[in-house]
């Protein structure tokens, strides 16, 4: 893999960091307030979850296409990144124009598709341009830069929500969209010629390690997404918190994530697992706290610990990049995020407003992530690396066997269903002929 020269990479890094600055304000004023927007127009948890599910499914399908057709990513990289970058921001000019469930879902799904494409191309840009240490560095600095600007965005969002009497989101979302286009402008200055025609390995090395890291990320992100879906409705409906308080929660979480990005960025993998362990307590704190305003510092706590837990997975992929390749690593990270949303949203629909069960379920899912991290990932395991590698291999082999059985069973089920359908059509056809003949003879 060709990487950038140090002099060029410095400018390259700064463009990526500045892009994250404007993107942070944009995201905080749009996606960061989207759940509040849905609650404000009367959506319940089930309806919010359905919107998230549909959009995540659309995003997953496009990500699977990219995984199956990686050649799409390595051709005209800059043109595609710029186009998707701009189109994603334009979606937020359209979303506040309707409150119809179907149209909201369609527009948000379009946004999520473009977001998946952007995430893939940006991850490819980073993973394809730097080595492991530089990937860690630029990822942490982009996270911190985005967090700093998000504070301004959320602060502005809180003010607008508090002082605008009507149609707040008709002003907030377009403002966020225009600020987001500033980050698109910065992308134009990136030289991505070194990524054109980037090769990708046909055979994946160490698949069991990649599988364990992927399993961990899916489970952890699913728990975080689940908490993200239900937390704001819980505070606003059950605890009667105002909408600006919900925005203040996001503000506190973002502020703590800035400090966390700088704190966790150079920590060893075995230290990052403490962030995961501490994050597991988050849903229990949310459940136990009945005063709405205390959820602001709780969000700060979960934001800090979640950053460390998330870096654990992201940095593992930076390390495994040499086995898996920049192209597939970038796509797989997006796919894992989409799968996590697809797991979280049906759970939210199924459990509805049963908040006690919801928060206990989130705690259980986070606990599973801890178990995966300490037993199946050699870099973070509490057991020896050999034992963790064995557990990882067993997990991979059993999952692969289960997948193959599921495929065979599914194939047989489909064939059986088709045979029954064909037989039913034959019987129905014979009966119809019989009835016609009977009528003629009669």
Average the pLDDT over 166-192 and give the result: 89
Answer for the pair 308, 279: CB distance below 8 angstroms, yes or no: yes
Residue with tokens 């966020």: 176
Indicate the helix (H) or strand (E) that contains 55: helix 45-68
Answer for the pair 390, 398: CB distance below 8 angstroms, yes or no: no
User: What tens digit of pLDDT does each residue of 175-185 get?
Assistant: 999 999 999 99
Q: Domain 6-382: give its CATH superfamily.
A: MFS general substrate transporter like domains (1.20.1250.20)
- pLDDT grade for 3, boundaries at 50, 70 and 90: low
What whole-number distance in Å separates Cα of residue 303 and Cα of residue 252?
8
pLDDT of residue 441: 52
Average the pLDDT over 284-302 and give the result: 91
Average the pLDDT over 9-22 and give the result: 86
**What is the residue-wise DSSP string for 157-178?**
HHHHHHH--S-HHHHHHHHHHH
- pLDDT grade for 280, boundaries at 50, 70 and 90: very high
User: What tens digit of pLDDT does each residue of 25-78 get?
Assistant: 999 899 888 888 888 887 877 788 788 788 878 888 888 888 778 788 888 889
Domain ranges within the chain, ordered by starting residue: 6-382
pLDDT of residue 398: 60
Answer for the pair 144, 307: CB distance below 8 angstroms, yes or no: no
User: What tens digit of pLDDT does each residue of 233-278 get?
Assistant: 888 888 888 777 877 887 788 788 888 888 888 888 888 889 999 9
pLDDT of residue 233: 82
pLDDT of residue 302: 92
């Amino acid at each position: 893999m060709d990487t950038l020269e140090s002099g060029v990479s410095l400018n390259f890094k700064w463009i990526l960091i500045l892009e994250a600055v404007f993107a942070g304000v944009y995201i905080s004023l749009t996606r960061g307030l989207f759940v509040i927007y849905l609650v404000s127009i009367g959506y319940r948890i089930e309806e919010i979850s359905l919107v998230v599910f549909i959009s995540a499914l659309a995003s997953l399908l496009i990500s699977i296409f990219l995984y199956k057709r990686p050649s799409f990513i390595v051709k005209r990289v800059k043109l595609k990144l710029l186009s998707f970058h701009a189109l994603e921001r334009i979606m937020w000019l359209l979303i506040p124009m309707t409150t119809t469930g179907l149209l909201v879902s369609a527009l948000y799904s379009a946004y999520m598709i473009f977001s998946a494409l952007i995430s893939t191309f940006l991850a490819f840009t980073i993973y394809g341009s730097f080595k492991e240490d530089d990937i860690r560095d630029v990822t942490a600095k982009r996270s911190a830069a985005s967090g700093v600007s998000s504070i301004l965005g959320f602060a502005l969002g809180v003010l607008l929500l508090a002082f605008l009497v009507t149609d707040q989101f008709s002003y907030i979302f377009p403002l966020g969209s225009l600020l987001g286009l500033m980050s698109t402008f910065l992308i134009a200055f990136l030289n991505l010629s070194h990524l054109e025609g980037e090769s990708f390995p046909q055979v994946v090395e160490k698949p069991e390690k990649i599988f364990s890291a992927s399993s961990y990320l899916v489970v952890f992100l699913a728990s975080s997404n689940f908490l993200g879906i239900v937390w704001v409705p819980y505070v606003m409906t059950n605890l009667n918190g105002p909408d600006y308080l919900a925005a203040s929660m996001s503000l506190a979480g973002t502020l703590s994530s800035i400090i966390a990005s700088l704190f966790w960025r150079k920590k060893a993998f075995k230290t990052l697992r403490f962030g995961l362990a501490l994050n597991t307590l988050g849903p229990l704190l949310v459940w136990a706290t009945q005063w709405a305003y205390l959820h602001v510092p709780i969000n700060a706590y979960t934001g800090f610990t979640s950053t460390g837990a998330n870096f654990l997975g992201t940095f593992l992929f930076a390390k495994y990049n040499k086995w898996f390749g920049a192209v597939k690593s970038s796509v797989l990270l997006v796919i894992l995020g989409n799968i996590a949303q697809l797991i979280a949203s049906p759970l939210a629909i199924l459990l509805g407003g049963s908040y006690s069960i919801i928060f206990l379920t989130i705690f259980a899912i986070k606990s599973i992530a801890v178990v995966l991290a300490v037993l199946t990932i050699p870099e973070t395991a509490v057991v020896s690396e050999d034992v963790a590698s064995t557990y990882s291999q067993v997990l991979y082999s059993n999952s692969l066997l289960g997948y193959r059985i599921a495929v065979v069973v599914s194939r047989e089920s489909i064939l059986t269903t088709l045979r029954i359908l064909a037989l039913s059509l034959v019987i129905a056809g014979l009966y119809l002929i019989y009835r016609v003949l009977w009528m003629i003879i009669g």
